[in-house]
Amino acid sequence: MALYSEKVMDHFRNPRNVGVIEDANGVGEVGNLKCGDIMKMYLKIENDVIEDVKFETFGCGSAIASSSMATELIKGQPVKKARELTNKAVAEALDGLPDYKMHCSVLAEEAIEAALDDYDKRQK
């Protein structure tokens, strides 16, 4: 059995939504001290819908794939639905991650949560 699914390899080799949104209205950055991965998510939200999302990730292939898939799962979605995204949903959408790489999907969930929290703060 292959260590990584074809979807993980595809999102690692051809990550979607990489970059920065200069006028983002929600930005979140998280990291994992143990492995050194860092993820930064940028959200552009209009009328309570995530119109655009970009990411910058410094990390392993699983971290990049998790970031990429997470952005695909929330792009075009209402903020409420994006808040419900779990690391398990990210891993399932990638057709699984090895147990010792599940922390990468957790980082993607946490980066989105941090960006949404930043968006909330900016709205007040």
Q: In this predicted model, what pLDDT tens digit does every residue of 19-33 receive, in sequence order?
A: 999 999 999 999 988
CA distances from residue 82 to 2, 3, 76, 93 in whole angstroms, order as listed = 30, 29, 9, 15
Per-residue pLDDT at 33: 81
Q: How many residues does the chain have?
A: 124
Residues known to be catalytic: 35, 104
pTM: 0.94
More confident residue, 34 or 121: 121
Residues 108 and 111: their CA atoms lie apart, in Å, by 5
Per-residue pLDDT at 1: 40
Q: Which domains does the chain have, with CATH numbers?
A: 6-123 (3.90.1010.10)
